[in-house]
Structure 1
Amino acid sequence: MTSSPRSTARPPSAQGRAPFEHALREAAEIAALSPSSHNCQPWGVAWPTGRGARRAAERLVDRAPAGDPEAPDRVSGGTGGRATDEYVILALDRERELTSLPAHAVEMLVSCGAYLQILLRSLALQGWSTDRIHFVEPRAGRQTRDTHGTWPPLGDTWPVSWSPLCVVRLRGTDEPDVPDGSLAELRRTALARRTNRGPYRPEAVEPAVLDGLSAPATGVAEGADVTVRHLVADGERAAFAGLVARHGGRDFSHRQAWRETYSFVRRDAAEAAARGDGFPLSQLFGPLSTPRRHALSLALAPTTMRVLRHAGYHRVLARQLARVVRPTPAVVAIGLADASPGVGATLRGGARLAEYWLRATEVGLALHPVSVVLQHDDVRKELQDRLGLPGRTFFVSRLGRPLTDFPRAPRRLGVRAVRTI
């Protein structure tokens, strides 16, 4: 492996940057299809091209000594390559994050980790191999929300609403060792991946298939301390459905949480496509007639829910969700070993989730996250205690073969998440 260029190296010319710029645009379009809570897409990617920004990125990747808990992680697969490395910085876009519940902090990092996994995999398939990753862990007294002016010194072009999560060094090879068509295959799988809230076939998912979904991960997720548990026994699934029936209406009755959720509900598919985020009601209920769509939109509005919750409407909705969950042949729960995970561990968990979901899609399986049982600590702890789930469960979902297709949620253009600094 060649050594990285030192800070005295001159940034590449615009012509020299062109191959990576093309690869990054291609990767960003695929990574934009990553899952995120409420389809809020809270990620951003900065590409340092200026001399100061590149030096700052280089220092962040190389600065931590061996044994330091912030030491950069070397990712397998790094190779010698072009004379100049490239860097990307993954950020959380504070203008797009969910904030109404404390648990959303973990959900946002998981969403960004899933995006990072697909972004770096897409770059690898174009010949840009990940060499090192440095995760930005908050420290006491560090103002991570004001990164453009204090720490790290990324320059005035750093978006004021972005908080850096990790810095990645990539190295290029002229002839990537990947099969032809691999990038197109990844794009097809990412396009096919979606949340399907419809009914699933009652037949059990074969144990060999479940084993394949749980196989060791690659990329950012490689070596992540993550547990994957499949609930397939009747008693386990019944216990989970019972928990959903008791607590599945919590978000509907939580004023701030439901107002935030409803802000992502779009009138119809046309509005969703124009906005590029959120979801139309058809994502929740399947195809709808115009009168039924209007009726549901009115019934779910925050002002209506404030009144209807006194009549127990949120409990009705919870029982309806439980009836969808109960016959599902499998439920998957994914968790981190640490009950209080840091940024790096949580991003790796999100990367593991992306890997799992893509594998499930490849074998014809669908997922329907049931996040309400994780978004309130008391419910999540009851779930983990009841089912013996260790650490911090951050994802739980129905898993099975769908009976009907569901539309794909809208996405912003991938390049809208990329900034040059």
Structure 2
Amino acid sequence: MTGSPTSAPRPPSAARRVPFEHALREAADIAALSPSSHNCQPWGVAWPSGRGARRAAERLVEEAPAGGPEAPDSTSGESSTGGGDTDEYVILALDRERELTSLPAHAVEMLVSCGAYLQILLRSLALQGWSTDRIRFVEPLADGRTQKAYDACRPLGDTWPKSWSPLCAVRLRRTDEPVGTLAELRRTALARRTNRAPYRPGAVEPAVLDGLSAPSTGVAEDAGVTVRHLVADSERAAFAGLVARHGGRDFTHRQAWRETYSFVRRDEAEAQARGDGFPLSQLFGPLSTPRRHALRLALAPTTMGVLRHAGYHRVLARQLARVVRPTPAIVAMGLADALPGVEATVRGGARLAEYWLRATEAGLALHPVSVVLQHDDVRKELQDRLGLPGRTFFVSRLGHPLTGFPRSPRRIGARAVRTI
């Protein structure tokens, strides 16, 4: 892009930048509560503040996705208008140092996690008066590279983290009439958590399920996501049977289980200190010290390598199936394309975040059963058995919990934010 110094967009004045910086850090604190596989929190968000960085972000926002048509100007359908020095930008990235890589399916899970984060981040910013004006996604080229993105971000120089892969750039503009309050969103995000305890056997009201499936806003507005609630006894029995047969697959996959176990923390204190992963109490509920030590030893990769020959992984699968079977509803979410791109997958994650927040507000809990999606043969069997179209990317128990469950630890929100 060329232009005279006088025609180039001016960076926001200090008086305007400070309020946005405060809003971004407030939003990041709430978005840090987003769900992610293994609680690995693989997201990063960059805030361009220098002149060169802002120009690079502007170019990334203004350009159409690689190999694709011009994207809509706004997630709300409004046309873009000149924002002058009131514009702000954020760039969502996948942090390669925090991503899961042991299974091909993890590539989808990581983008879904980043999409959930983005939905809550932008919703938090909107509640502070910063609305999303335009989003541009970075799609990989045919050979899987994202050279276009790196070319656009090259002016950022050494300030762009080398482990971050850009997913999309967002332009935000000041608005005066936010709908809702930040305190309400923060309360809901804090209350949202994975609850692996038993759920009440009573059915979830159809009107509630309809409300969870209602159209979404923000990044999730254009998500091509199907939401299917499995409530018939035959459907739930079929799902539980699948879990009983395949729920131990991860324990026998050496690389996958070693990666999973690396996120198991010794106790709650270690989990809080590290800010990610999960203690065994997140999987099994409250544990005595001797039982916690015994389980940690039994689940260690070396031990599992021996115990799988005795069928221990099948015992664990049947235990999970016994929890799944009486659950009143199973929710399955799918993307339209069997091979979704970055935009479709990130928007799918945004839709998931919106669904989970609505479920939390309705007093419902979720417990993802990801093992049936992390291996392609099992996922395809699930989709064929239950008639789920496209690419199922999320499946979970859904119901009213009988007991509470502790919240997973989180990194401080500001750790995911870089000023560039």
- TM-score calculated relative to the size of structure 2: 0.94
For residues 3-402 of structure 1, what are the structure 2 equivalents within 5 Å? 8-64=8-64, 68-69=68-69, 71=71, 73-76=73-76, 83-140=85-142, 143-144=145-146, 150-153=151-154, 154-173=156-175, 175-179=176-180, 182-402=181-401
Asked if the contact 1:46/1:90 (under 8 Å) is kept, the reply is yes
Query: Matched residues in 2 for 1:33 and 1:70: separation?
Result: 33
| 1:9-54 residue CA offsets vs partner (Å, 9 max, x unmatched) | 2212433310100000000000000000000000000001111111
Unaligned runs of 5+ in 1: 1-5
Query: Matched residues in 2 for 1:13 and 1:156: separation?
Result: 24
| 1:62-88 residue CA offsets vs partner (Å, 9 max, x unmatched) | 1229x9436355111769777420000
Deviation at 1:61, TM superposition (A): 1.2
Counterpart of 1:409 in structure 2 is 408
| 1:160-201 residue CA offsets vs partner (Å, 9 max, x unmatched) | 00000000000012x22324xx11000000000000000000
Seen in structure 2, the aligned counterparts of structure 1 residues 146 and 286 have a Cα distance that, compared at 3 Å, is farther
Deviation at 1:224, TM superposition (A): 1.2
Deviation at 1:140, TM superposition (A): 3.5
Query: Matched residues in 2 for 1:184 and 1:34: separation?
Result: 16
Structure 1 runs (4+) deviating above 4 angstroms are 77-82, 145-148
Deviation at 1:365, TM superposition (A): 0.2
Q: What SS does structure 2 have at the residue aligned with 1:131?
A: strand
- TM-score calculated relative to the size of structure 1: 0.94
Query: Matched residues in 1 for 2:148 and 2:10: separation?
Result: 28
Asked if the contact 2:126/2:178 (under 8 Å) is kept, the reply is no
Asked if the contact 1:145/1:162 (under 8 Å) is kept, the reply is no
Unaligned runs of 5+ in 2: 1-5
Query: Matched residues in 2 for 1:16 and 1:178: separation?
Result: 21
Asked if the contact 1:70/1:134 (under 8 Å) is kept, the reply is no
Query: Matched residues in 1 for 2:144 and 2:255: separation?
Result: 29
Asked if the contact 2:282/2:406 (under 8 Å) is kept, the reply is yes
Deviation at 1:141, TM superposition (A): 5.6
Q: What SS does structure 2 have at the residue aligned with 1:156?
A: helix
Query: Matched residues in 2 for 1:73 and 1:243: separation?
Result: 43
Deviation at 1:129, TM superposition (A): 0.3
Identity %: 85
Query: Matched residues in 2 for 1:115 and 1:139: separation?
Result: 24
Letter in 2 for 1:304: T
Q: What SS does structure 2 have at the residue aligned with 1:319?
A: helix
| 1:263-315 residue CA offsets vs partner (Å, 9 max, x unmatched) | 00001100000000000000000000000000000000001000000111101
Letter in 1 for 2:326: P
Counterpart of 2:3 in structure 1 is none
Query: Matched residues in 1 for 2:199 and 2:70: separation?
Result: 43
Asked if the contact 2:9/2:85 (under 8 Å) is kept, the reply is no
Deviation at 1:223, TM superposition (A): 2.2
Query: Matched residues in 2 for 1:342 and 1:297: separation?
Result: 38
Seen in structure 2, the aligned counterparts of structure 1 residues 347 and 58 have a Cα distance that, compared at 3 Å, is same
Query: Matched residues in 2 for 1:178 and 1:208: separation?
Result: 24
Q: What SS does structure 2 have at the residue aligned with 1:11?
A: coil
Query: Matched residues in 2 for 1:238 and 1:103: separation?
Result: 25
